[in-house]
Amino acid sequence: MDRIWLQHYPAGVPQTIDPEQYRSVPHLLEESFRKFADKPFSVCMDVWMSYGELDTLSAALGAWLQSRGLEPGARVAIMLPNIPQFAVTMAAVLRAGYTCVNVNPLYTARELEHQLKDSGSTAIIILENFAHTLQAVIDKTPIKQVVMTSMGDLLGGLKGAWITFAVRHLAKMVPPYQIALTPGRSVVPFSQALAEGRGKKLQPASSNLDSIAFLQYTGGTTGLSKGATLTHRNIVAATLQADAWFKPALARIGDPTKINGIAALPLYHIFALTLCLLAIRQGSHLTLIPNPRDIGKFIKELKKRPFHMLPAVNTLFNALLQHPEFKTLDFSHLCISQAGGMAAAEGTAKAWQQLTGSAMVEGWGMSETCAIGTNNPVTSTQFSGSIGLPLPSIDIAIKDDAGNTVPQGESGEICIKGPNVMTGYYQQPAENAKAFTSDGFMRTGDVGVMDEKGYTRIIDRKKDMILVSGFNVLPNELEQVISLCPGVLECAAIGVPDAKQGEAIKIFVVRSDPALTEDDVARYCRENLTGYKHPKHIEFRTELPKTNVGKILRRELRNSAAAH
């Protein structure tokens, strides 16, 4: 394959990375714990944790887990928001030789039951705020070991106790729960597990690069979520790829341990998880934002110290821009505004760069690719509208339904191959047969076009295509255009049944200007879109349904449209 993108890499970015330099993810973690022992790893609610503390705490929890008799490779579910316990637990599970199963804390009981059963998780570390959900389903799952943590557990004696009290009794954020102790099942407080583990020795894990490190469940925007099987090789490769790619923009900081990365996106999601591992590899530190929906508090955290790396989805960038306090921040230290997780809107990108002076750099990836598969160069000075170039050691091919690579410039399914790409979906042989081409590329379900420099532009998801009188209409294109209409904050496009056209286009719009009318939007569409792409229906809403990561759920919009 002619890797035309390599000649357009920024200076200093290698063409390949070598995951073989590490034996496993714990090898990478423990190297950083030694190198950066006295450096800060994270700050949460003004309480700092050093790499040395992360080392000590994760070794204790890992030793405790080993003492419970879990078999090598056992699946351990992690149901935590962005609090210090997350990194401690993740490192503990991996160092003890087990597999991390990241769980969205906001899951419903049905979703949690599916994931615990599908993964075969026998242990779970969970914040007490979500224990009522576990209570509803635990008897139908394989869970035997429950480690229960509270919000203040790692936030220091008096302060931690106060935060836990406030969360439980003032904010009333911990619904009542009671998890029955049945034969073979234990419920142990997080602090007790740490105390007991401190007296035990963490036994070296037998994990190697081909062992499973994570079962990372896909967003579940269609049907039941599937577990992407991510090996230690996949995780190490993705970490090294991100390290190589981001280095040119972060070089101006000089000492990597001074870099402050903002962890507002949930760490259980592959995007933020990879950037957390990148921070560990660099020895940089993270500002943990437990609740990024509280934009006012989020901005107060940003005000406290210079921040250098801000990863977000388009909806979060938008929310920050809309808050009057955001413009009072000092953006002079901001090196990377990394967009991912969903398509970045040109309107948001323009407003972001105008306010912050930092170009929004869009990337693309999936749980199945350990987050980033392609990314725009971090040296970019303006938003490109493309998803960028393949990262080191990654190949991208645009293929037709038969698996043939199409001529350059033609559209087809984006397919990816590289050391970061999952080995398959967990216990899903039929899905795996469909997921990979005969020459080893993974089909992504995204339709795209690659240009003569190797930059890929996503046209749309295959399944979201709208068919209007025989013409394919791509919702992403409509949303990109309409997002630039004055007075539009956010929008989403779907197809709805239509007797004449087969499908008609329906647009859902969230206004930034209350005076915006349907006629204004329709006029803008007539001026900027060809006839068959004009929406037949326009509906204003105060908000759009989203996943916890901020992706707009078109499926929910289709369901609500069908119900009316």
Whether the per-residue pLDDT at 2 is higher than 90: the answer is no
pLDDT tens digits along 414-425: 999 999 999 999
Query: How is residue 390 written in tokens?
Result: 């393949």
Q: Identify which of 431, 386, 435 has the alpha carbon closest to the alpha carbon of residue 415.
A: 435
pLDDT of 331-374, one tens digit each?
Answer: 999 999 999 887 788 999 999 999 999 999 999 999 999 999 99
Share of residues in the chain with pLDDT > 70 (%)? 99
Q: Which of 461, 479, 508 is the last residue of a domain?
A: 461
**Which of 117, 119, 151, 113 lies closest to 133 in space, CA to CA?**
113
**511 Cβ neighbours under 8 A, 6+ residues apart:** 487, 488, 489, 540
Per-residue pLDDT band at 476 (split at 50, 70, 90): confident
With beta carbons less than 8 A apart as the criterion, state whether 521 and 384 touch.
Answer: no
Domain ranges, residue 526? 465-563
Q: Is residue 473 part of a domain?
A: yes
How would residue 277 be classed by pLDDT, with cut points 50, 70 and 90? very high
d(CA 122, CA 101): 11
User: Do 174 and 257 fall into the same domain?
Assistant: no
Which pLDDT does position 317 carry in this prediction? 94
Q: Tokens for 397, please give them.
A: 């091919």
| Shared domain check, 398 and 304 | yes
The predicted pLDDT at position 143 comes to 98
253 and 396 co-located in one domain? yes
Could you tell me which of 288, 295, 294 has the C-alpha nearest to residue 272? Answer: 288
pLDDT (0 to 100) of residue 109: 87
Q: Are residues 239 and 365 in the same domain?
A: yes
Q: Could you say which of 174, 207, 240 is where a domain stops?
A: 207
What pLDDT shows up at residue 332? 97
CATH of the domain at 551: 3.30.300.30
Residue 44 falls inside a structural domain: no
Inside any domain, residue 80: yes
Looking at the structure, tell me whether residues 293 and 431 fall in a common domain. yes
Cross-strand partners of 288: 263
Of 462 and 85, which is predicted with more confidence? 85
pLDDT at residue 220, rounded to an integer:
45
Average pLDDT over residues 15-39: 98
Give the whole-number percent of the chain exceeding pLDDT 90.
84
Q: Does the pLDDT value for residue 192 go beyond 50?
A: yes
pLDDT at 222 (0 to 100): 43
Residue 221 domain-assigned?
no
pLDDT for residue 557: 94
pLDDT in tens, 422-447: 999 999 999 899 999 999 999 998 99
Question: β-strand 371-375 against 389-390: which pairing, if any?
Answer: antiparallel
Q: Specify whether 85 is located in the same domain as 10.
A: no
Q: Say whether both 446 and 482 belong to one domain.
A: no
Domains contained in the chain, number: 3
Provide the pLDDT for residue 170. Answer: 97
Asked if residue 182 and residue 301 are part of one domain, the reply reads no
CATH of the domain at 158: 3.40.50.980
How does pLDDT run across 240-264, given as a tens digit for each residue? Answer: 999 999 999 999 999 999 999 999 9
Closest by Cα among 328, 439, 451, 320 to 385:
451
Does residue 45 form part of some domain?
A: no
Residues 397 and 483 in one domain: no
CATH number for position 399:
3.40.50.12780
The string of pLDDT tens digits covering residues 105-162 is 988 888 899 999 999 999 999 999 999 999 999 999 999 999 999 999 999 989 999 9
Do 350 and 441 lie in one domain? The reply is: yes
Q: 288 phi and psi, to 5 degrees?
A: -85, 130
Categorize the per-residue pLDDT at 550 as very low, low, confident or very high, splitting at 50, 70 and 90: confident
Are 469 and 451 contained in the same domain? Answer: no
Q: What is the CA radius of gyration of the chain?
A: 23
> Tokens 């990979």 correspond to what residue?
436
Structural domain contains residue 223: no
**317 and 271 both lie in a single domain:** yes
Q: Is residue 226 part of a domain?
A: no
Residue at a domain's end among 207, 241, 267: 207
- Give the β-pairing of 371-375 and 412-417: unpaired
- Whether 463 has a pLDDT exceeding 80, the answer reads no
Instruction: Please list, residue by residue across 228-263, b when 16 or more beta carbons sit within 10 angstroms of its beta carbon and e when fewer do.
Output: bbbbbbbbbbbbbbbbbbbbbbbeebeebbbbbbbb
Packing angle, helices 84-95 and 270-282, rounded to 10: 80
Q: What is the mean pLDDT of residues 508-530?
A: 94
Q: Is the pLDDT of residue 223 over 60?
A: no
Contact 512, 522 (CB under 8 A): no
d(CA 484, CA 304): 33
Q: Per-residue pLDDT tens for 376-394?
A: 999 999 999 899 999 999 9
pLDDT digits (tens, 9 = 90+) for 69-116: 999 999 999 999 999 999 999 999 999 999 999 998 988 888 899 999
Whether residue 402 is contained in a domain is answered as yes
